[in-house]
Amino acid sequence: MGETVTIEDLAREAKAATIPLAATTGAARDEALQAVAQALRERADVLMAANRRDLAAAEADGLAAPLLKRLKFDATKLDEVIAGVDSLKGLPDPIGLVQSRTELDAGLILERVSCPIGVIGVIFESRPDALVQISSLCLKSGNAVLLKGGSEARHTNRALADTIRQAAEAAGMPAGWLQLLETREDVAAMLALDTLIDLIIPRGSNAFVRHIMQHSDIPVLGHADGVCHVYVDVAADLDMAVAVARDSKCQYTAVCNAAETLLVHASVAADFLPAFQAATAGDALELRGCPRTVELIGGTPADAADWSAEYLDAVLAVRVVPDLDAAIAHINRYGSGHTDVIVTADAAAAERFQARVDAGNVFWNCSTRFSDGFRYGLGAEVGISTNKIHARGPVGLDGLMIYKWRLKGQGHIVAPYADGARQFTHRRLGCG
């Protein structure tokens, strides 16, 4: 890229690409995905050599082992991302779906039809495989994309972006549909381009996502926090509650859909908490309890900060609550709107919980850890959103889509309807 090319230039080029991209056929985009998968396979040596450069620099800089592991892009990772691109090909084309069809009057037919949003800005941290995943999701859905990865993966990201863009463009996709940003200053510039970029998807730590959300007028799809709860109701099967709470917390602690707070109805606390403690004896789990919890099973006394904490670790806040409504109130006050679970045999209690907990995912008698696009069967996951508009919870390809209204007439004008000479029929038609 030349020295004088600005991020605004890149965004403008991406926006120009959205027009022909939105008009491509699903078959053409699937062929481009096929070409991308093939190019990734053919350029394996180049990609892995670029990654070795990044790894060597990162090791010299003393990057911690878990980060080095995330940065690594080897044959296994390559196979995984190619399999991901291949799987997208099999999904139905998300463009052009007729969502509603109405006859407004004889010969005047209105359709609401899905279309791409336009230009998506994606910012992710070190894992280079995220670049392949998100750019292929954008290609499948007909969106142009501006990508910014972690700077420690600079050479890998550049090699991947060049490979993907060139392969897709050679397969007929419009020039400029994929743009790579490389510096923090590029990100700051991107966040200001609200007339050119339609949606920002940040992937990374909560602090990072919160920073993005606070520094842009562009809509942001994502979640800063995952403070998920399991509430054990008075009517819970306690064996089930132990299993669900343990899986929610311990099955994998470092993820946003792991439980961070356990709420227990006062009437079952004396039975449930010792059983839970016994079941998690091998999990090296630290409990931070309210006074009643500490009285029953010991553990560290919780302070106010624990109720809002996203530990992402083998730590669990535990609070005994007087009743269902106190549990709901606790969750609505301290939760992050991500995923909350009730364990109960009482259908009315479950209904009350699921109607009144203000979260994207409200579960009954199952683990918080199911809150995931792949587990939901969405086919592909764009991310998890705690937004209250557009898309909520695990977001599949349809989170990258919007719609336009197409009206087809035969010279129809409004005047006779305004005069009362003609009436609308507003007849619902099938969408097939």
Nearer to a second copy, 157 or 253 (CB): 253
State residue 91 phi and psi, 5-degree precision: -80, 155
Structure tokens at 216: 């842009």
- Taking CB under 8 A as the criterion, the residue among 237, 271, 283, 310 binding a second copy is 237
* 199: contact with a second copy by CB under 8 A: yes
* 122: contact with a second copy by CB under 8 A: no
* 417: contact with a second copy by CB under 8 A: yes
144 vs 357: CA distance, rounded Å: 36
Q: Which long-range contacts (CB under 8 A, 24 or more apart) does 356-359 make?
A: 356/328, 356/332, 357/328, 357/331, 357/332, 358/332, 359/331, 359/335
Contacts with a second copy in 315-334 (CB under 8 A)? 328, 332
Number of residues interacting with a second copy: please give it, by CB under 8 A.
74
Least separation, in Å, of the C-beta of 244 and a second copy? 6
Contact partners, residue 23, CB within 8 Å, separation at least 6: none
| Stretch of residues binding a second copy (CB under 8 A), selected from 37-45, 275-283, 310-318, 410-418 | 410-418
Contacts with a second copy in 202-231 (CB under 8 A)? 213-214, 217, 219, 221
Nearer to a second copy, 275 or 366 (CB): 366
Q: State the binding string over 143-182 for a second copy (x if CB under 8 A, else -).
A: ----------------------------------------
163 vs 160: CA distance, rounded Å: 5
Q: Contact, 171 vs 32, CB < 8 A? A: yes
- Taking CB under 8 A as the criterion, the residue among 281, 413, 420, 423 binding a second copy is 413
Contact partners, residue 49, CB within 8 Å, separation at least 6: none
Edge-first strand listing for the sheet containing 108-116? 108-116, 98-105, 427-429
**Residue whose token pair is 């809509």:** 219
| Stretch of residues binding a second copy (CB under 8 A), selected from 80-88, 126-134, 281-289, 399-407 | 399-407
**Residue whose token pair is 């022909």:** 20
Q: State the binding string over 353-392 for a second copy (x if CB under 8 A, else -).
A: -xxx-xxxxxxxxxx-xxx---xxx---------xxxx-x
Least separation, in Å, of the C-beta of 347 and a second copy? 10
Nearer to a second copy, 150 or 393 (CB): 393
Within 10 angstroms of residue 333's Cβ, the number of other Cβ atoms is 9
50 vs 69: CA distance, rounded Å: 15
Nearer to a second copy, 183 or 214 (CB): 214
* 83: contact with a second copy by CB under 8 A: no
* DSSP-based three-state secondary structure for 146: strand
* 108: contact with a second copy by CB under 8 A: yes
